[in-house]
Amino acid sequence: MTDGSLVGQAAVDQLLEVLDLAPTGTMSFRGMSPPVGPQRVYGGQVAGQALVAAGRTVDPERVVHSLHGYFVRAGDPVEPIEYEVENIRDGRSFSVRRSVALQHGKPIFFMSASFQRPEEGLDHHAPLPPDVPGPESVPTMTDRLSRYPERLGIWGQIPRPIDVRYVGEPGWVRPGDRPADPHQRVWMRIDGKLPDDPLLHACALTYASDLTLLDSVLSVHGEVWGPGGVVGASLDHALWFHRPFRADEWFLYDCWSPSASGARGLATGRMFTVAGSQIASAVQEGLLRRVGG
């Protein structure tokens, strides 16, 4: 890399530090944001940290299978985030936790997460979308950014622990540079090596799942983020984990938007391994407003 950004294993190690919460009690934890980042806490970060907090209070033999969260206030990246976990239930097969992220004594995000004892059962999934080029066949983020030098200053400062490769045009190109497309498809992987901890891989996938999902709402209209386009924020986020996976191996994030109205857009996505196994599904609603509107 030549743009001076923190990438690869160094950025992944920083992500691992962000996800490694400090215990402050038996059911409470404290998290920090990266030293350099956006003006408000990235939604995938607080969701990933909330899942870390919940998962650390559950029998490690039980794996997370779903989470549902709401973003209620913008997070301050220079302030610690306190996580309080409530044990809703420990049954024979399932454990349910509620994890609340707080700053200045007020919730900025809350999540319910469910964990299951491994079981055997029916097994099927939708197929990998056809005719999608592989991750090595599409431009890297650095290749994309080279066309938009005005973006290099921003992205050159923010760590990039995720290797993101858009199959189509990203949502941050200049107005007019993005044709309408019913799908937003992106290859992703953690850009380094993660430890062999299934909870950590689930938290890393949660972190990544918020990165491009709302792009699919704009993609339907050929719209873009920022000046001349749209500003937005995540309102809620739901994620289901279907099969074992590694977040440091390539997965396709196939996203589309079934509806947008009332300054809100709904986005849904499926994640597939290169071999075609569906590993997760996501749904998110976001607030979307035209710049200056």
Rounded Cα distance between 257 and 285, Å, is: 10
- Catalytic hit among 163, 191, 210, 254: 210
Spatial contact of 112 and 67, defined as CB atoms under 8 Å apart: yes
Average pLDDT, integer, range 100-115:
98
Assign residue 105 a region: left if phi > 0, alpha if psi is -120 to 50, beta otherwise? left
Average pLDDT, integer, range 17-34:
97
* Catalytic residue flag (residue 210): yes
Instruction: Centre a 10 Å sphere on the Cβ of residue 87 and count the other Cβ atoms it contains.
Output: 13
- Catalytic hit among 234, 257, 278, 281: 234
Q: What is the pLDDT of residues 125-150, one digit of tens each?
A: 999 999 999 999 999 988 888 888 87
Spatial contact of 234 and 291, defined as CB atoms under 8 Å apart: no
Q: pLDDT band at 39, cuts 50/70/90? A: confident
Residue indicated by tokens 């962000």:
18
Residue type, 233: A
Q: pLDDT band at 115, cuts 50/70/90? A: very high
Q: What is the pLDDT of residues 237-266, one digit of tens each?
A: 999 999 999 999 999 999 999 999 999 999
Residue indicated by tokens 């590993």:
279
Q: What is the mean pLDDT of the chain?
A: 93
Query: CATH number of 8-117+140-290: 2.60.120.560, 2.60.40.1940, 2.40.160.210, 1.20.140.10?
Result: 2.40.160.210
Name residues whose C-beta falls within 8 Å of residue 155's C-beta, 6 or more positions apart in sequence. Answer: 3, 5, 141, 145
pLDDT of residue 146: 85
Q: pLDDT band at 154, cuts 50/70/90? A: low
pLDDT at 157 over 90: no
Q: pLDDT band at 1, cuts 50/70/90? A: very low
Quick one: DSSP state of residue 7?
B
Rounded Cα distance between 196 and 154, Å, is: 32
Q: What is the pLDDT of residues 184-243, one digit of tens each?
A: 999 999 999 999 999 999 999 999 999 999 999 999 999 999 889 999 999 999 999 999
The pLDDT > 70 percentage for the chain reads: 94
The pLDDT > 90 percentage for the chain reads: 85
Name residues whose C-beta falls within 8 Å of residue 124's C-beta, 6 or more positions apart in sequence. Answer: none
Q: What is the pLDDT of residues 261-278, one digit of tens each?
A: 999 999 999 999 999 999
- Catalytic hit among 33, 95, 216, 284: 284
* Domain regions of the chain by residue span: 8-117+140-290
